[in-house]
């Protein structure tokens, strides 16, 4: 385009692209299912400590299970943080392809 | 007060003032002021998030809590850390992709209404003020103890410092104060933890074994139940921690200081590692204090246990380490309150003045001036409130701030990004239901009412037994937004498509190549 005007983005059009719908669906189901998993694992800790004695037992020496469960939540947090970034980088590439597809389509 | 202590305090104050002077020369636009021009790198923003987040409550409060109550003290550490996953998975990127300076910017990306912006600003300012009073009252008590000056002088000292950083250096100065503070805090914590571990012959197993006999609680010290005896209340509190972080205005604001979603991501990774390592080390701080200082001495210095970490430093490293840790605690408070002032000022100046009163018709110069005036107003109000709140037990104000953030801000953020049918009426009712229900529930809780005189603000029976009402108010916030949406006929699918595309792809006008 020869002029300096900023292009107006046709969001409706991008949103209705099959590729975009697929990405949105994939991304949302990934984000929400992982979120559900870590929230359940996290909330399970106070539920177990408040209503059962399972985690009060000794695991390694005098270290009780509740510390190991907590350590697990720390490891989970670090792990899932990196897992997210790896996934998000993949989605970035797909988002770029979607924009390219939209631009290509606009030229026609 | 010793010479070493004065040396460390002066060094920190001097260093931060030099940064402010340097930053002030780079602060000419509203974007510079609120977001450091969006120019922070991933590690810088990650350090700054950690610096913003690890408040005195984390450093002094958790160490003391673990020292006195063993595992129950560690609950907070877990909640604060896992909260980062909610931020990362649900909030950080869409916020970065849709927003400019504030939470309200993001919501009004969908609903162009003064009502929505006003309500978002109201909840932001409420959270900021509660959080700030808690920080300033805590700071006053601490500095009073450390420097031996009067409470009001201590509050004024912190208040004036934070105002200077924000007023002259804006987000650039604030971020660097937070970065330096994060580095100092990690250094101090690592040194103390190393010394503690050395005392246990570098054996974690031996440390745990020895802890079963070091306190009056015996083996129960290593298990939950010493502090939190009401299961439902514990669950409610942990829920507020994990969901509240993603709605805290000063944390949300930190995602506008980076240039794109990728940098936002990398900054959360940095923050997760720093904050996580710090919280692991709180075990050593707490255990060390219990073993080498002792519960009696900790309670004698401060009934809430806030002096556990400084006293441990003194026991292990003498006057120099004690002075250093006290100075780090001071820097911690400065960094956190400066971040809070900025987020309060952004709601006041950008949302209420710039966008609602002036309808966005402000020049760059006026916007910066408004931001500075807003910072002064937030600072002065919070200092005055803190001066009046000296005798108040303020620990619950922090949990209240988390609860409001989880109940008022999180539902509206999630609906805005993920729910097509959501509308203006839903956004306003979601925020108001969350905000008002959290406030009312706390007002009738054991924090405010206790049959024993002196235990709470008023004498009397509390109406609910939850000290943190998140378990009730968070679902109410979501429900309010749901019902509010359905009672209004308004829906704009086209606008949602735009928000969806922007949030999912981060597309902006610059991305279109022609």
Residue B308 CB partners (closer than 8 Å, separation 6+): B60, B63, B64, B67, B68, B285, B286, B289, B293, B298
Locate the chain A residue with the closest alpha carbon to B417: A28
**pLDDT tens, position by position, B40-69:** 999 999 999 999 999 887 888 899 999 999
Q: Which residues of A touch B87 (CB under 8 A)?
A: none
Q: Minimal Cα–Cα distance from A97 to chain B, Å?
A: 10
Residue A17: phi and psi, rounded to 5, are: -60, 135
**What is the pLDDT at residue B281?**
97
In whole angstroms, give the CA distance from residue B327 to residue B333.
Answer: 10
Cβ of A73 within 8 Å of Cβ of B90? The answer is no
Locate the chain B residue with the closest alpha carbon to A94: B505
**What is the pLDDT at residue A2?**
41
**What is the pLDDT at residue A1?**
40
Cβ of A61 within 8 Å of Cβ of B209? The answer is yes
**DSSP codes, B412-451:** HHHHHHH-TT--HHHHHHHHHHHHHHHHHHHHTSTTTEES
- Torsion of the alpha carbons at B262, B267, B273 and B275, rounded to the nearest 10: -150
Residues 15-74 of A with CB under 8 A from B: 15-16, 20, 23-24, 27-28, 31, 34-35, 38-39, 42-43, 45-47, 49-51, 55-56, 60-64, 66-67, 70, 73-74
Q: Minimal Cα–Cα distance from A18 to chain B, Å?
A: 13
**What is the pLDDT at residue B512?**
60
**What is the pLDDT at residue B57?**
78
Sign of CA dihedral B304, B309, B312, B318: negative
Q: Which residues of B touch A64 (CB under 8 A)?
A: 222-223
Of B239, B221, B366, B381, the C-alpha closest to B291 is B221
pLDDT-above-90 percentage for chain B: 71
DSSP designation for B306: T
Cβ of A60 within 8 Å of Cβ of B205? The answer is yes
Cβ atoms within 10 A of the Cβ of A53, count?
Answer: 11
Average per-residue pLDDT for chain B? 91
Interface test with A, best of B204, B233, B244, B501 (most A CBs within 10 A): B501
Of B336, B346, B165, the C-alpha closest to B253 is B346
In whole angstroms, give the CA distance from residue B190 to residue B179.
Answer: 17
The answer on pLDDT for B312 being more than 70 is: yes
Of A16, A45, A61, the CB nearest to B205: A61
With contact defined as beta carbons under 8 Å apart, do B403 and B471 qualify?
no
**DSSP codes, B180-248:** HHHHHHHHHHHHHHHHHHHHTTT-HHHHHHHHHHHSTTGGGGGSS-SS---HHHHHHHHHHHHHHGGG-
The answer on pLDDT for B193 being more than 70 is: yes
CA A59 distance to own-chain centroid: 32
Joined together, the tokens standing for residue B101 give 């300076």
- Residues B126-150 have a mean pLDDT of 86
Joined together, the tokens standing for residue B25 give 């020369």
b or e along B69-79 (b: 16 or more beta carbons within 10 Å of the residue's beta carbon)? bbbbbbbbbbb
Locate the chain B residue with the closest alpha carbon to A59: B205
- Residues B492-503 have a mean pLDDT of 90
Chain A and chain B share a number of CB contacts under 8 A equal to 159
Joined together, the tokens standing for residue B297 give 């001495």
**DSSP codes, B45-96:** HHHHHHHHHS-HIIIIIHHHHHHHHTHHHHHHHHHHHHHHHHIIIIIHHHHH
Of A1, A56, A77, the CB nearest to B84: A77
The answer on pLDDT for B514 being more than 90 is: no
Cβ atoms within 10 A of the Cβ of A33, count?
Answer: 9
DSSP designation for A54: G
Q: Minimal Cα–Cα distance from B445 to chain A, Å?
A: 21
Q: Minimal Cα–Cα distance from A105 to chain B, Å?
A: 13
Of B371, B75, B417, the C-alpha closest to B246 is B417
Under the banding of pLDDT at 50, 70 and 90, the label for residue B509 is: low
* Interface predicted TM-score of the whole assembly (ipTM), two decimals: 0.93
**pLDDT tens, position by position, B241-286:** 999 999 999 999 999 999 888 898 999 999 999 999 999 999 999 9
Query: Which of residues B457 and B80 earns the better pLDDT score?
Result: B80
Of A7, A38, A50, the CB nearest to B509: A7
- Residues B1-6 have a mean pLDDT of 80
**What is the pLDDT at residue A106?**
61
**What is the pLDDT at residue A3?**
45
Q: Which residues of chain A have pLDDT under 50?
A: 1-4, 108
β B449-450/B458-459 pair status? parallel
Of B412, B431, B435, the C-alpha closest to B422 is B412
Cβ of A38 within 8 Å of Cβ of B280? The answer is no
Phi and psi based region of residue B459 (left: phi greater than 0; alpha: psi -120 to 50; beta: remaining) = beta
> Among B144-158, B265-279, B346-360, where is mean pLDDT lowest?
B144-158
In whole angstroms, give the CA distance from residue B318 to residue B154.
Answer: 24
Sign of CA dihedral A102, A103, A104, A105: positive
**pLDDT tens, position by position, B80-122:** 999 999 999 999 899 888 888 899 988 988 887 889 999 999 9
The answer on pLDDT for B346 being more than 80 is: yes
Of A16, A64, A84, the CB nearest to B222: A64
With contact defined as beta carbons under 8 Å apart, do A49 and A66 qualify?
yes
Joined together, the tokens standing for residue B328 give 């780090």
Cβ of B85 within 8 Å of Cβ of A28? The answer is no
**What is the pLDDT at residue B139?**
83
Token pair 């595992």 is at which residue? B71
């Amino acid at each position: 385009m020869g002029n300096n005007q900023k292009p107006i983005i046709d969001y409706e059009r991008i949103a209705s692209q099959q590729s975009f719908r697929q990405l949105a669906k994939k991304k949302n189901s990934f984000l929400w299912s992982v979120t559900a998993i870590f929230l359940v694992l996290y909330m399970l800790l106070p539920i177990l400590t408040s209503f059962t004695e399972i985690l009060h037992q000794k695991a390694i020496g005098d270290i009780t299970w509740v510390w190991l469960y907590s350590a697990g939540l720390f490891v989970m947090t670090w792990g899932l943080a990196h897992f997210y970034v790896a996934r998000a980088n993949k989605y970035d590439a797909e988002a770029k392809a979607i924009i390219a597809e939209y631009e290509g389509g606009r030229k026609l | 007060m010793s010479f070493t202590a004065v040396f460390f305090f002066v060094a920190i104050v001097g260093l931060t003032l030099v940064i402010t002077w340097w930053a002030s020369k780079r602060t000419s636009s509203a974007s510079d002021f609120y977001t450091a021009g969006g120019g922070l790198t991933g590690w810088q923003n990650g350090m700054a998030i950690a610096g913003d987040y690890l408040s005195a409550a984390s450093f002094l409060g958790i160490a003391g809590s673990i020292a006195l109550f063993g595992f129950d003290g560690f609950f907070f550490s877990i909640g604060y850390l896992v909260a980062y996953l909610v931020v990362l998975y649900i909030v950080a990127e869409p916020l970065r992709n849709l927003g400019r300076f504030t939470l309200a910017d993001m919501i009004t990306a969908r609903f162009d209404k003064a009502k929505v912006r006003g309500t978002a600003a109201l909840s932001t300012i409420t959270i900021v003020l509660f959080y700030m009073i808690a920080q300033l009252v805590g700071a006053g008590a601490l500095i009073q103890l450390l420097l031996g000056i009067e409470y009001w002088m201590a509050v004024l000292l912190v208040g004036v410092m934070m105002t200077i950083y924000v007023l002259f250096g804006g987000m650039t100065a604030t971020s660097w104060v937070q970065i330096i503070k994060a580095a100092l805090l990690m250094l101090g914590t690592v040194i103390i933890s190393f010394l503690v571990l050395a005392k246990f012959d570098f054996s974690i197993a031996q440390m745990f074994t020895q802890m079963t006999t070091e306190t009056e609680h015996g083996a129960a010290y290593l298990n939950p139940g010493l502090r939190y005896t009401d299961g439902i209340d514990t669950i409610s509190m942990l829920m507020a921690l994990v969901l509240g972080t993603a709605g805290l205005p000063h944390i949300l604001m930190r995602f506008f200081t980076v240039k794109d979603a990728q940098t936002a991501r990398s900054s959360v990774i940095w923050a997760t590692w720093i904050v996580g390592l710090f919280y692991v080390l709180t075990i050593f701080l707490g255990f060390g204090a219990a073993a080498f200082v002792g519960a009696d001495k900790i309670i004698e210095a401060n009934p809430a246990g806030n002096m556990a970490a400084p006293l441990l430093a003194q026991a292990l490293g003498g006057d120099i380490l004690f002075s250093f840790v006290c100075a780090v605690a001071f820097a911690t408070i400065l960094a956190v309150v400066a971040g809070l002032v900025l987020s309060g000022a952004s709601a006041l100046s950008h949302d209420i003045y710039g966008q609602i009163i002036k309808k966005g018709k402000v020049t760059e110069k006026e916007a910066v001036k408004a931001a500075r005036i807003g910072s002064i107003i937030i600072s002065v109000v919070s200092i005055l409130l803190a001066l009046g709140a000296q005798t108040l037990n303020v620990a619950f104000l922090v949990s209240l701030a988390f609860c409001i953030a989880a109940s008022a801000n999180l539902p509206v953020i999630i609906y805005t990004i993920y729910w097509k049918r959501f509308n203006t009426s839903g956004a306003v009712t979601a925020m108001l239901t969350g905000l008002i229900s959290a406030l009312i529930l706390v007002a009738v809780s054991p924090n405010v009412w206790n049959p024993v005189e002196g235990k709470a603000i008023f004498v009397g029976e509390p109406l609910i037994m939850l000290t943190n009402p998140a378990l009730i108010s968070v679902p109410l916030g979501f429900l309010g937004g749901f019902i509010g949406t359905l009672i209004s006929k308004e829906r704009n699918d086209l606008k949602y498509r735009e928000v969806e595309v922007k949030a999912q792809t981060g597309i902006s006008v610059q991305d279109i190549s022609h």
